[in-house]
Structure 1
Amino acid sequence: MTRITAWRRHPLARYAVLILALALVGMVYAAFVQVGKPADAALAAGKVDDVAEGKSLFIQHCGSCHGMSAQGTGTAPTLIGVGAAAVDFQMSTGRMPAAAPGPQAPRKPPANWVNETTTRQIAAYVQSLGGGPQVPGHEQVDPAMGDAGKGGELFRANCIQCHNWAGAGGALTQGKYAPNLNSSTPTQIYEAMITGPQAMPVFNDTTITPEEKRSMIAYITQVREQRDPGGFGLGRIGPVTEGLVAFVVGIAALVLAAIWITAKKRQKS
């Protein structure tokens, strides 16, 4: 007992107990988190059976770039922890599988083997690897449940620097660009905000709440349906096209007017 008492009174004893307690808590937490994790993640993204089917599809179509275990390679990043929402966004917009490496994967028609089922299966497999943002439900992205006015304020504060006030997109640096949002579905817009594809930052629920995201979707879908009663919209790109048209049309009109006036004067003389 004397030896135990002496050890307990040692100056380092309290630190040893603290380290032991933290290690024990970590082991218990890891045990509870890992149990049933793949199944829970698969259920969140689709069906439990989708994981096996998704793994087979992933190895066949995605493993050559992302690695057979989605660990990433020099060609493509790791997909561990990106979540089902990222997979659904990339595959539903045709960005993945990519046709060729480049600064940014463009939107294109999905590959012939990509459909709702195969997308869900690969998303379930990736979700089972390390969790991550899940595909949003209908109520989360329904524009009718959002406030377009509030969404417009949020969009102008966070998005117009890249996407333009009307979501027409714009050029960025190093060959990248903010895509046009007119072809994006409400689900794809929400997924882009929570996953941050390519050059886009991630807007998590702390930065922009789910209700605010839904309001931004309401604004984007409302603006794309508006007409341009004042004339040609010129792609709604902004002062670049407007200035070009003003210069070309305006200068051309002035040149033609000057030629016409001088021609009249020559005829009189």
Structure 2
Amino acid sequence: MFSKRSSTQKKRAVGRRSPVATVSLILVGLLTTGGAYALFTSSATAETSSGSSQANVNEGKKLFAANCATCHNVNGSGTTAGPSLIGVGAASVDFQVGTGRMPGAANGPQALKKPVQFTDQQIQDMAAYVASLGTGPSEPEAQYLQGNANASKGAELFRINCAMCHNVAGAGGALTDGKFAPALKGVTSKHIYEAMLTGPQNMPVFNDLNITPQDKADIITYLKYLEKNPSPGGFELGNLGPVSEGLFIWIFGLGAIVAITVWLTAKSN
């Protein structure tokens, strides 16, 4: 009886050390991880397209096929003429189409802002369809778009993260190869937020881990403050900084001094 029990224990010990058991444990771990990831992805996709019905998605698919598929492919996977839109989210569509940059008129260093070609509902339908293709940033919540956050903190964040391209006053500026950072005056709060969230054109992506939603609200508040409060120094020369101001002084200031000098000399003669 003792030997029988010892034999059973040995078999169990060998079974625990068997390579088959190790492989089984790895498979169980992979299946568990994959299932958790699929559940998370499904939840995120549902959150991204929340508020959009299947009817919105179907209508957006028709609009996409008629206006976007030539460059981005019928399934949004992209072509040589346009990038893939799988995973860009509703926010990217709302920004690009809502500012008239898309559909693009012609190839160039970057897409230009143009009159919007679609109604708000059509834009929402296309955004719902693209959001259904893969998880991506959703449109911002209204609470972050009111322009009533901390303007002082927003100014500091803007100087650190945005001013090197857009100018400290949001007046825009030139980049390389014919590209540029656009002026931010008159841009809606929603589109400013979506630009930070999705990084259109040459702009880097500032997701919620880089700049939190509240920080984005602070930046928007700062930019809206600049719109409502004119420069206390008078004519701002486009807010283009010391280069334009120095050029103005050089041409008009020194020009006026030279003109007065010539006039005085001529009068004394």
**Would you say same fold, with TM above 0.5?**
yes
Q: Which residue is 2:61 aligned to?
A: 55
Describe how 1:246-265 pairs up with structure 2 within 5 A.
246-265=249-268
Work out whether residues 42 and 48 of structure 1, in 8 Å CA contact, stay in contact via their aligned partners in 2: no
The size of the alignment, in residue pairs, is 261
Which runs of 5 or more residues in structure 1 are unaligned? none
Provide the secondary structure at the position in 1 that maps to 2:260. Answer: helix
Which runs of 5 or more residues in structure 2 are unaligned? 1-7
My pick for the range that moved more, 83-92 or 245-254, is 245-254
Choose the corresponding residue for 2:17, options 5, 9, 12.
9
In the alignment, the residues of structure 2 paired with residue 226 and residue 257 of structure 1 have an alpha-carbon distance, to the nearest angstrom, of 36
Residue 23 (1) aligns with residue 14 (2)? no
Shift of 1:226: 1.2
Shift of 1:159: 1.0
Choose the corresponding residue for 1:101, options 104, 107, 115.
107
The residue type paired with residue 85 of structure 1 is A
Describe how 1:1-269 pairs up with structure 2 within 5 A.
6=14, 8-10=16-18, 12-13=19-20, 15-29=22-36, 32=39, 41-44=48-51, 46-111=52-117, 114-144=118-148, 146-265=149-268, 267=269
The residue type paired with residue 142 of structure 1 is Q
Cα deviation per residue 1:80-114 (whole Å; 9 max; x = unaligned)? 00000000011111111111111111112112xx1
The residue type paired with residue 258 of structure 1 is T
In the alignment, the residues of structure 1 paired with residue 230 and residue 42 of structure 2 have an alpha-carbon distance, to the nearest angstrom, of 54
Provide the secondary structure at the position in 2 that maps to 1:43. Answer: coil
Shift of 1:116: 0.3
Provide the secondary structure at the position in 2 that maps to 1:24. Answer: helix
Taking only the aligned residue pairs, the percentage that are identical comes to 46
TM-score (norm 1): 0.89
Work out whether residues 168 and 182 of structure 1, in 8 Å CA contact, stay in contact via their aligned partners in 2: yes
Work out whether residues 39 and 48 of structure 1, in 8 Å CA contact, stay in contact via their aligned partners in 2: no
Work out whether residues 66 and 78 of structure 1, in 8 Å CA contact, stay in contact via their aligned partners in 2: yes
The residue type paired with residue 19 of structure 1 is I
Q: Of the two, which has the highest radius of gyration?
A: 2
Provide the secondary structure at the position in 1 that maps to 2:258. Answer: helix
Work out whether residues 88 and 135 of structure 2, in 8 Å CA contact, stay in contact via their aligned partners in 1: yes
In the alignment, the residues of structure 2 paired with residue 209 and residue 42 of structure 1 have an alpha-carbon distance, to the nearest angstrom, of 21
